[in-house]
Structure 1
């Protein structure tokens, strides 16, 4: 598994598919942190949502980074297609962890906050970014060409569903019946419901949303692997 992750890492870095989404992430961070004063919970939840979008984008384009012939050879060598797929997911999630660290460090060093940052805030910010990035990776992979062959449709769907996922709470308030449909989308709205109107984060309040997101990520990864195994070339 480790060898597969390292191989996928090298291939992905050579593809340069990460440059544009990271560039957009940085531009948004510059704009966000130049506006003072900075609200701690609202600003960092927005930052995590942006990272969710970026990682979903990277997950969507990820499987184009490797040629089919090279992939077939690697699958034959690994002799385990499930392990091969999991190595791809874990590699990109590791990339997301690095971007989470980057986003957290840049954010907390900018200063200009309405209230002093606490250690709990910093730990919470990092955890939230990692959770959002992990779930974004797998979510984006559901819209790749091997699952949805029509590129225009897949791009429209992923953009629309990302927006709906982020603003799920507001949508449900306006259209109550929508909750019976959009509940299946990533539950990132749990964080906005809990923290958006608070001044600081709380590790205790984070517990339920994190467990929910972790279970959701495992479930969607298992579903993705099942679908991909059926779509193998």
Structure 2
């Protein structure tokens, strides 16, 4: 697994596919804290949504680093397709950890907050960034060319999921009757961002964390089902 992850990482670095999303991420982070002082939790809530979008962008490009022929060759060397995809997932998730650490530490190092954040606030900030990034990874893979053939369907579908998940709380009151329950199929991004305020509702926050973790697990399972189905009928 480690050798596969190293290979994926080197291939991605050589592709330069990370330049655009990482540059955008740094610019947004700097602009977000350009005016200070800033509230701790609310600021983390905003930058976690930025990371959610950037992580989705990075993941799609990361899973498209290899062309289809090279991907098949790598799978043969891996000797197991699920091992290959697991190594991809873990490597993509490591990018999320890095972005979460940068997002959490940047305003602390440069004194952008209105007060010194507590250990709890920093911990909540990191896990909020990480979990939203993780769910972005799992959702984005469903819209990669591994599942969808046409690139336009990949980007349009992913963009729709990202937008709806971010604005779901605003859309819910507009939906009639049972239609609002359709929002359950989208990750609870807006619910989590709304909780990032003082006073912190720790119980509800932990429930949302659990919901996101389970959602990510379901998306991984769905990917495995869709991939096997596609392979069977291709």
Structure-2-length-normalised TM-score: 0.90
Tell me the residue number matched to 1:179: 180
Distance 1:142 1:91 in 2: 16
Which gives a bigger RCO, structure 1 or 2 (Cα 8 Å, sep 6+)? 1
Q: How far is 1:56 from its partner?
A: 0.8
- Is the CA contact (8 Å cut-off) linking 2:195 and 2:201 kept in structure 1? no
Listed one character per residue, the Cα deviations across residues 122-165 of structure 1 (whole Å, up to 9, x for unaligned) are 11111111111111111111111232223223222222220110
Distance 1:13 1:97 in 2: 17
Tell me the residue number matched to 2:73: 73
Distance 1:115 1:205 in 2: 24
- Is the CA contact (8 Å cut-off) linking 2:148 and 2:154 kept in structure 1? yes
Tell me the residue number matched to 2:22: 22
- Is the CA contact (8 Å cut-off) linking 1:62 and 1:141 kept in structure 2? no
Distance 2:154 2:124 in 1: 33
Tell me the residue number matched to 1:188: 189
Which has the higher mean CA deviation after the structures are superposed, 66-75 or 38-47? 66-75
Residue 25 of structure 2 is aligned to residue 48 of structure 1: no
Distance 2:204 2:12 in 1: 36
- Is the CA contact (8 Å cut-off) linking 1:187 and 1:213 kept in structure 2? yes
Quick one: structure 1 residues 176 and 199, their matched pair in 2 at CA, closer, same or farther if it must change by over 3 Å?
A: farther
Q: How far is 1:192 from its partner?
A: 2.7
Q: How far is 1:204 from its partner?
A: 4.6
Instruction: Kindly report the root-mean-square deviation, in angstroms, between the aligned alpha carbons of the 2 structures.
Output: 2.0
Distance 1:34 1:50 in 2: 15
What is the total number of aligned residue pairs between the two structures?
Answer: 231
SS in 2 for 1:44: helix
Tell me the residue number matched to 1:223: 222
Quick one: structure 1 residues 202 and 115, their matched pair in 2 at CA, closer, same or farther if it must change by over 3 Å?
A: farther
SS in 2 for 1:7: helix
Tell me the residue number matched to 2:34: 34
Q: How far is 1:202 from its partner?
A: 5.9
Tell me the residue number matched to 1:63: 63
Quick one: structure 1 residues 93 and 17, their matched pair in 2 at CA, closer, same or farther if it must change by over 3 Å?
A: same
- Is the CA contact (8 Å cut-off) linking 1:5 and 1:87 kept in structure 2? yes
Distance 1:53 1:110 in 2: 24
